[in-house]
Structure formats: structure tokens, C-alpha cells
Amino acid sequence: MPTNISSDPVLAQEAIAELTGINAASFTNQTVDIGTSNITAMQTGRDVNNQMMANVSNFVQAVLAQANKFPELAVRMEANDKQDAQNFGG
């Protein structure tokens, strides 16, 4: 069930909790080894797979970097909300 990011740092942290447990660095060094096969299609498949694993790793790391910004953003929003409430006598 989707959680909306709001000015509540706890909700923001909960929204990204599933992502923060992913260790994308472990994908970077994973490769396919086909041994000494000299079949061109096998070699091409290996190369494509290895490049795809590196790309997926980079993508996951980028998503995690953005997701980790949400709790900080929520803290800033919360501070702004409190300031606004004080300014308007709330």
C-alpha cells in the first residue's frame, strides 16, 4: 500500500524502509562466466548480461540515493509547517 510522503519524518522513513535494506553494491561484482566457450552467441549473451548487471546496480544505487533524501525533506517540511503554524497563530 503506498504511503504519501508528508511533513512527518516517521512516515517518510517508513515509506522508504523496504528500499533501504537493499545492498546494491553486491550486484556490481556479479558476472556470468561461461568458461572457455567459443560460441559467439554465448559470449555475446555473457557480455550483455554482465553489462546489464552493472546498469541495474547503478540504477538501484541512484534510486536509493534519491529515496534516502525523503526523511530529510520531511524534517524540513515539518519545520516549515511548525513555523507556518506559529505565524498564523496555530
CA atoms of 22 and 10, how far apart (whole Å):
20
Phi, psi values for residue 36, rounded to 5°: -100, 20
Q: What is the per-residue pLDDT for 46?
A: 92
Helices and strands in the chain: count of H runs, count of E runs: 4, 0
pLDDT in tens, 51-83: 998 888 888 888 888 888 888 888 888 888 888
This prediction has a pTM of: 0.59
Contacts of 68 (CB under 8 A, 6+ apart): 16, 20
Q: What is the per-residue pLDDT for 7?
A: 67
Q: Where are the domains of the chain?
A: 9-87
pLDDT in tens, 1-43: 555 555 677 777 777 777 777 766 666 678 888 888 899 999 9
* Residue with grid cell 552467441, as numbered in its chain: 41
Q: What is the per-residue pLDDT for 32?
A: 85
